[in-house]
Amino acid sequence: MKFDVTALKGGYGKHMVIHDVSFSVEKGQMTYVLGANGCGKTTLFKIIIGYKERMAGQISVDGCDISKLTKREMAGIVAYIPQQHVPAFNYSVKDVVVMGRAAHLPPFGVPGKADFDLVDQSLNILGIEGLADIEYTRISGGQQQLVLIARAICQQAKMIVMDEPLQSLDFVNQDMVTRTLRKLVRKGYSIIISTHTAIHNYDKQDKALLMNKTGGAAFGDIEEILTKEAIARAYGMPIETMMGEDGSGGKHLLCVPIHE
């Protein structure tokens, strides 16, 4: 699967937030999206998942414009995990995961055995089958993120879009989530993830989309796009970037504001 975004423009009413954004996502690729608050990251995500209409530009999957796809077809292509997820009721983990089947059910349909079999498979892939009957609100923030990823897998989407999934997580939970995402990439999933401060254990095929405050964006290889000069311009303040490898060969990038 190849997901292409070309010369995208979008916003709210007459207020345009995104002016000219282009990038592509290949099968089994991780794409990191960075940019200051208000630059349009969440707006971009809502447009590419088909939740919000674009003003101009093209979004296509394997050459087919997403406007020609049904909601069920889109559900099989992309799943969205928002910044925060607070369920209206205290569902069990398996009930949260089975919600990923909603787009595949008929109106007023009820999940059946085949749907719950997919729930079990999704939890097993992530190694969290032991959480199935626990109340979602009683597990840790990192475990909640894994449950939402399991829901996306249960949806049978080929691409997962995540809006700042590591926000407010400690090191243990961040590692739990990032290891899981890397595992999914190796299985052929495409991941788009927004972040602010760090990119951990990235591979050479991973890409970066750096959005600026004027609605544009630069796209390409991480080490070419995320230079300290480019990030400083995007955020409008001095920022130091530190790249390095750990003892296991993992490559990391850290962005740190500096005071002059």
DSSP-derived secondary structure for 133-155 = TSBGGGS-HHHHHHHHHHHHHHT
Distances, alpha carbon 91 to alpha carbons 37, 87, 95, 132, 135, in Å: 31, 7, 6, 10, 6
Identify the pLDDT of residue 71.
85
Are 105 and 73 members of one domain?
no
> Which pTM does this prediction carry?
0.91
Identify the pLDDT of residue 118.
95
Identify the pLDDT of residue 68.
93
Helices H / strands E in the chain, number of each: 8, 13
Are 172 and 252 members of one domain?
yes
Separation CA 30–CA 43 (nearest Å): 19
CATH number, domain with residue 38: 3.40.50.300
Residue 73 contacts residue 62 (beta carbons within 8 Å)? no
In a domain, 84, yes or no: no
- What pLDDT tens digit does each residue of the chain (260 aa) get? 899 999 999 998 878 899 899 999 999 999 999 998 889 999 999 999 988 999 999 999 999 999 999 888 998 999 999 876 666 678 999 999 999 998 888 888 899 999 999 999 999 999 999 999 999 989 988 899 999 999 999 999 999 999 988 887 888 888 888 889 999 999 999 999 998 778 888 888 999 999 998 888 999 999 999 998 999 999 888 888 888 888 888 888 888 888 76
SS3 assignment, position 12: strand
Are 73 and 173 members of one domain?
yes
Separation CA 182–CA 105 (nearest Å): 30
Beta bridge partners of 3: 25, 61
Identify the pLDDT of residue 84.
67
Are 167 and 239 members of one domain?
yes
- Segments forming the whole domain that contains residue 44: 2-77+157-257
How many domains is the chain built from? 2
| Residue 207, CA atoms < 13 Å, CB-side half-sphere | 17
Are 33 and 124 members of one domain?
no
Distances, alpha carbon 161 to alpha carbons 44, 79, 116, in Å: 11, 6, 23
User: What are the E-state strand segments in 56-167?
Assistant: 56-61, 64-65, 78-81, 159-162
